[in-house]
Amino acid sequence: MTDDELVAALTSAHQEIAALRWRLDQLEGRTMLTSPSFLKRSFAVLGHYLVASLLVALPIYLIIFIFFLLGLASSR
C-alpha cells in the first residue's frame, strides 16, 4: 500500500467513524435502550416486549373469538 492509499484509507475511516458517532448520538436521543440507567433500560425493554406480545397475541385472540362466534352461530 502506498502512502497516498494509506492516507485515503485513513481519511475514509475517520469519516465513517464520525458518521457512526453522529448516528449514535441521534439514536441515544430517541430511545432509552442505550441509557446508562438500569431502570430506564429495563422499562424500555419491558415496553418493547409488551408491544411485541400484543402485536402477536391480538390477531390470534381475534381469530379464536371469530371461531367461537361461528361455533355459537352454527349450534343454534
Residue 65 pLDDT class (50, 70, 90 cuts): very high
Report residue 49 as a C-alpha cell.
Answer: 416486549
- Residue-wise pLDDT for 10-45, tens only, equals 999 999 999 999 998 888 778 888 888 999 999 999
Residue type, 72: L
| Alpha carbon separation from 1 to 7, 9, 14 (Å, rounded) | 10, 10, 18
The whole model's pTM is what?
A: 0.57
Q: Which of 37, 67, 36, 33 is nearest to 49 (CA)?
A: 33
Q: Where are the domains of the chain?
A: 1-30, 33-76
